[in-house]
């Protein structure tokens, strides 16, 4: 498929939905750079929730209700692990587990290659046309400071159900991370960049925090690439996850305008939901154009429609 190439930056469920919509138009011309800050080790295996959520969505096998995991999966291995006394609060389905087994085995093999190469091999096995690129091959685990101290991201997110107040965030090891050659090449060829409707602080934030990532974006912009961002906050609320509470707790406004302020130095077109139409003039006053539309993606058709509107606004 010839034509312009696009890079999307994505976290989990919201990002994966828009990535799926973009893939419907772009196929192999799409590269999705995913947050790896949520990655964790479970039962000796590497789990990559954002990579895997995008993978399952692009393959059309995601669990419809939750957005992550595989539709119709069973939990026999998890229940057996629990019978051995292993922690079972992070629920890995049987078919999902196969991905973590294969990935971890390949990473441990002497000739297994880098994280990105291993992920690309697994994506090819599922027949994906777009490429899903980890933001870095080096681990950059997100940690959350609560009244209890520093917690690993999944301990906060899944085990403690995002209930403690977030006092501070850090991306451990980020100073030693760098964008991969694949990420650099994708930005080098992109004529458009899309910041998906993912949490700006713990999904897009870690990607942009990798040293060298903002320079890649700046170089693409200097070449003429245009950048759009889709607000993950609609009517002051996140559709999924704790982005609204986290923004407020960390001193930002929990609104589409608050997100626009975080992205103002990068973005040409900011996409707001119809319910936030009133905020468009304030976003434009920050120096961005706005696209006001229905941003709630409930099915394949609404994903593809939003993606096509975003791509049209960047032409
Ligand atoms: N989220 C949950 O709330 N509970 C789970 O047990 C859980 C398991 C899980 C397994 C694999 C995977 O890829 C994702 C999983 N998630 C689970 C979702 C995920 O950890 C979070 O939604 C993201 O990290 C936030 O983007």
CATH number of the domain to which 27 belongs: 3.40.50.10680
**How far, in Å, from the CA of 41 to the mean position of ligand 1?**
13
The mean pLDDT value for 61-86 works out to: 97
Which of helix, strand or coil describes residue 43? coil
Establish if 159 belongs to a structural domain.
Answer: no
Q: How far is the CA of 124 from the centre of ligand 1 (A)?
A: 23
pLDDT grade for 210, boundaries at 50, 70 and 90: very high
Contact, 17 vs 57, CB < 8 A? yes
Average pLDDT over residues 284-308: 98
Is residue 165 included in any domain, yes or no?
no
Ligand 1 touching residue 56 (CB < 6 A): no
- 260/288 Cα distance (integer angstroms): 9
* Domain boundaries, position 275: 6-145+171-313
**What's phi and psi for 9, nearest 5 deg?**
-105, 130
> How many domains are contained in the chain?
1
Domain contains 80: yes
Tokens 């919509």: give the residue. Answer: 21
Q: Which atom belonging to ligand 1 lies closest to the Cα atom of 153?
A: 24
Three-state DSSP class for residue 267? coil
pTM (two decimals)? 0.98
Total residues found in the chain within this entry? 315
Task: Answer whether 134 contacts ligand 1 (Cβ < 6 A).
Answer: no
Is the pLDDT assigned to residue 208 strictly greater than 90? yes
Q: Of all protein residues, whose CA lies closest to atom 21 belonging to ligand 1? A: 49
Instruction: Output the CA 158–ligand 1 centroid distance in Å.
Output: 7
Q: Which two tokens stand for residue 214?
A: 């903002």
Nearest Cα residue to atom 13 of ligand 1: 49
> Is 152 among the domain residues?
no
Residue 11 Cβ < 6 Å to ligand 1: yes
CA distance 284 to 269: 9
**pLDDT (tens digit per residue) in 168-197:** 999 999 999 999 999 999 999 999 999 999
Using 50, 70 and 90 to split pLDDT, how confident is the model at 111? Answer: confident
Rounded Cα–Cα distance for residues 229 and 291 (Å): 10
Residue 155 counted as domain residue: no
Q: Is there a domain that residue 252 lies in?
A: yes
Domain-located, residue 240? yes
Residue 131 lies in a domain: yes
Ligand 1 centre and the CA of 137: distance in Å? 21
| Token representation of residue 108 | 């441990």
- Between the CA of 10 and the centroid of ligand 1 the distance, in Å, is 15
């Amino acid at each position: 498929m010839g034509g312009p190439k696009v890079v999307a930056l994505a976290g989990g469920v919201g990002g994966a939905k828009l990535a799926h919509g973009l893939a419907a138009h772009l196929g192999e011309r799409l590269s999705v750079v995913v947050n790896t800050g949520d990655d964790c080790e479970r039962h000796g295996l590497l789990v990559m929730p954002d990579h895997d959520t995008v993978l399952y969505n692009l393959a059309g096998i995601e669990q419809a209700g939750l957005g992550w995991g595989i539709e119709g999966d069973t939990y026999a291995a998890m229940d057996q692990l629990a019978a051995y006394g292993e922690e079972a609060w992070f629920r890995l389905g049987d078919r999902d587990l196969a991905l973590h087994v294969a990935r971890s085995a390949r990473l441990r093999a002497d000739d297994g290659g880098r994280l990105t190469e291993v992920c690309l091999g697994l994506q090819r096995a599922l027949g994906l046309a777009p490429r899903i690129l980890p933001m870095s091959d080096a681990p950059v685990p997100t940690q959350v400071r609560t009244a209890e101290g520093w917690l690993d991201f999944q301990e906060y997110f899944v085990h403690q159900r995002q209930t403690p107040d977030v006092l501070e965030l850090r991306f451990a090891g980020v100073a030693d991370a760098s964008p991969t050659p694949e990420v650099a090449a994708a930005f080098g060829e992109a004529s458009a960049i899309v910041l998906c409707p993912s949490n700006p602080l713990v999904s897009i934030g870690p990607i942009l925090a990798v040293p060298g990532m903002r320079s890649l974006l700046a170089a693409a912009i200097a070449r003429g690439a245009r950048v759009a961002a889709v607000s993950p906050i609609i009517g002051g609320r996140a559709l999924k996850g704790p982005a609204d509470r986290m923004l407020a707790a960390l001193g930002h406004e929990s609104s589409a305008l608050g997100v626009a302020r975080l992205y103002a130095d990068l973005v040409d077109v900011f996409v707001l939901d119809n319910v936030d139409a009133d905020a468009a003039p304030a976003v434009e006053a920050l120096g961005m154009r706005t696209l006001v539309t229905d941003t709630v993606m409930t099915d394949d058709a609404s994903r593809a429609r939003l993606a096509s509107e975003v791509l049209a606004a960047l032409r």
